[in-house]
Structure 1
Amino acid sequence: MKQQAAFAWPNECVGFIVQTDLQWFVMPLPAQSGPQHVFVEPSTLLCAAEALDDGNVQVVAVYHSHPDGHSSLSAADHQFSAWARTHFLLVRVNEAWHIQMFRWS
């Protein structure tokens, strides 16, 4: 996640953390992004969901970055709660990435 955030900087990045029977892995999502927004096309999300379902893979968390150091979730960020109860936010502070975890109720 941190590598993807660093690569996307100064723009935001987004992705899923997914689980198979034996492994967990990071699944970056292609997105339109800027320094203070990220958007994934609904068709991209649908394709990703279908591919994961076909492979018996479960989304366990969503992550995205705030390269400007803002450490709280915006109203737009709450859209991610549709995919998983756990959300990881990568925040860039003093050129280092820090990870915060949020749980949707």
Structure 2
Amino acid sequence: MFWAYILHCRAGKLYTGHTDDLERRIWQHETGQIPGFTRDFLPVKLVWSEEFVTREEAKKAERQIKGWSRRKKLALIRGDWDAISRYAKSKGSPSTSSGQPVVVPNKVHAGLILEAQNAHPSECCGILTGNGTEVTGLIPAQNVHPTPATHFEVDPQTLINAHRAEREGGPQVIGYYHSHPNGPSYPSETDAQMAAGDNTIWAIVAPGETTWWRDTPDGFLPLPYTQVRG
């Protein structure tokens, strides 16, 4: 049998490959035995794979996925075929972003502040859950970036678990949050490079201020927000 696979690498980068021995190949990537991209972005973690009968089928899948946008790859990883279909239909089309205010319960906002305080001087990070533009909860995650004082990377396993729980009827993943311990409350250049352009909501917690953003294919757009009791 043959496999196409995707690895989540350091700095949030994704690598796609194919192999006839998945277990051995992943071990080679993890131990830095394969020169090139993955060795430069260790550690790596297998986040998706699919089995094929022939090598040509696996190679064809690899080539196809390599041509996809980051947001489409992320949709594949989480098994969101509706999103994959939407991205395919909208390829090359302008995207719009809703300016509808984000609704944030006081307890969620307080949780964001506490997460940022507890992680200081490193950046905190995690997942926002809710419905549409209503944020109902947080899923804290470990910041696995090698320089967490100035960058963030959500633990891939936390992402996988959150999306799996959503598919099984759990809270809907609507976005992400992180803090800027010593920086401004708007997206940094690094944030822009990491963004998937998938219209998710981002919260950025900075000293004295929390701001909300829509991660669109055309960049981050600021969102108004309303705090409510609860």
**Which category describes the TM-score, using the shorter chain as reference length?**
0.7 to 0.9
Q: Which has the higher contact order (CA 8 A, sep 6+)?
A: 1
Q: Which residue of 2 aligns with 1:91?
A: 206
Does the alignment pair 1:24 with 2:136?
A: yes
Which structure: greater strand fraction? 1
Quote the residue 1:46 is aligned against: 160
Q: Is the 8 A contact 1:59 1:84 kept in 2?
A: no
| TM-fit CA distance, 1:84 | 5.1
Aligned runs of 1:1-105 on 2, under 5 Å? 1-19=112-130, 24-33=136-145, 34-78=148-192, 79-81=194-196, 85-92=200-207, 97-105=208-216
Change (3 A) 1:27 1:82: farther
Q: Which runs of 4+ in 1 moved over 6 A?
A: none
Higher helix share: 2
Please give the alpha-carbon distance, in whole angstroms, between the structure 1 residues aligned to 2:183 and 2:189.
17
Please tell me the root mean square deviation across aligned C-alpha atoms, in Å.
2.4
Residues 185, 209 of structure 2: 8 Å contact kept: no
Structure 1 unaligned runs (5+)?
none
Percent identity over paired residues? 27
Q: What CA distance in whole angstroms lies between the structure 1 residues aligned with 2:127 and 2:140?
A: 6
Between structure 1 and structure 2, the one with the greater Rg is: 2
Q: Secondary structure at the match of 2:163?
A: helix
